[in-house]
Amino acid sequence: MTLYRTRAGLRHRIRDVLNFYYPDCLDTAVGGYVAQLDERDGRVYDARTKHLVATARGVHNFSLGVLADGPHWCEHAAEHGLRFLSTVHWDDGRRGYDWLLEGRTPTDRTRYCYGHAFVLLAASRALQAGIPGARAELDRAFGVLEERFWEPDRELYADRASPDWELTSYRGQNANMHACEAMLAAYEATDESRFLERAYTVADRFTRDVTAATDGLLWEHYTDEWEPDLSYNEDSPRHRFRPPGYQPGHHAEWAKLLALLAVHRPESWVLERARGLFETAVDLGWDDEYGGLYYTVEDDGEPVVPDKFGWVHAEAIGASGLLSLVDADADGRSTGYLEWYDRLWEYAGEHLINPRYGNWYERLARDHGRDGPNRGPAVEPGYHPLTNCWLVARALEADGREGLGARADDD
């Protein structure tokens, strides 16, 4: 059994990622986190900028550290970040979370559903980890999402608003995917059915109804009528956050979320759609020449941006790991999903994981070359690998196994 098929191996990877960020990420002067650490050597390159998503992901990550019996300092680190999130990022006058801060001063108060969804996710995992103040933050974040972003007639979330809550016309896949993720986490933290029902509604509405217009593929960008905007950013194929094209990584990420949803809502369509989305991710996205999954592709698999992103492979690892457990045979031995799980880990270990520190690189060229450090305020502080390692380890524990591919008493 390979290392990352085991709960022990997955916990080891979780600790490596947490250790890369701690203690340098704790801002003891201003509060919150310093998320901008160079992915090659860990040096801080921006000690002032506070991004809402990076702050929320930090709270989430250290909360997972607590839940995974990680280092003893995870609880303090999670509480430290949650305090900053709930006070400094929160705009009490306008009742929303500020997107970007310089120190403690807001520099961008745009209201993003994506950011508010991550606050709900962070608070949910913090509540599971027993972090003080988490329940109040969960309720507040959910309240804003429901009051300001939820569109009952569409049964989906709007994407963005001005600081004073004037919605823009853009609608997006990504905000709804992460809202679904956050609702599932809120349900697991509270056992309150309203969160599960909302997660189910978003998943059903988007992955079955909306995608019917694109032959079941997940387009990213929509009008306010939820019609695919196929020309969105077509002149900016390398847009960092909203590129045109289909993203294999998001197909895998939705497959993972549907596999999680199926635990609580075991309806046949949920797992069927999860399997189909994962197969689409690897069929359209896998690079047969260099290995790894492309960032964006056309509907026939022709790459638009052939770069290889760390988060894409982490999500595909989580999806294949969870689906391998779902589709295990009576003896506990998995089907082809386990082969993908091993292949993805092998690729990540060879190309995407920093061999010195254990953190994951953000982006490589198609042939795995590097064009310099990936820097900016909107960094990815280990959320994707931590999440997916923890989810697979948790599923193994729930299924009474030490590792994928065999029952615990077979190891």
- Where do the H-state alpha helices sit in 298-367? 310-326, 336-347
Same domain, 203 and 237: no
pLDDT(408) > 50: no
Same domain, 140 and 272: no
Share of residues in the chain with pLDDT > 70 (%): 96
Same domain, 206 and 245: no
Mean pLDDT of 23-42: 96
pLDDT at 379: 81
Q: Which carries the bigger pLDDT value, residue 67 or residue 407?
A: 67
Share of residues in the chain with pLDDT > 90 (%): 91
Q: Return the CATH number at 168.
A: 1.50.10.10
Structural domain containing residue 283: 233-411
**Cβ neighbours of residue 46 under 8 Å, at least 6 residues apart?**
34, 36, 375, 377
Mean pLDDT of 113-138: 98
pLDDT at 377: 75
Handedness of CA 347, 350, 351, 356 (dihedral sign): positive
Same domain, 198 and 246: no
Q: Is residue 315 part of a domain?
A: yes
Q: How far apart are the first and last CA of the chain?
A: 8
pLDDT(1) > 80: no
CA–CA distance, 86 with 105 (Å, rounded to integer)? 15
Domain end: 183, 213, 243, which one? 213
Same domain, 343 and 305: yes
Same domain, 98 and 241: no
Same domain, 361 and 249: yes
Catalytic positions: 250, 384
CA–CA distance, 91 with 78 (Å, rounded to integer)? 21
pLDDT(131) > 70: yes
pLDDT at 329: 57
pLDDT at 331: 52
pLDDT(2) > 70: yes
328-380 pLDDT tens trace: 654 555 569 999 999 999 999 999 999 999 999 999 999 999 877 777 777 88
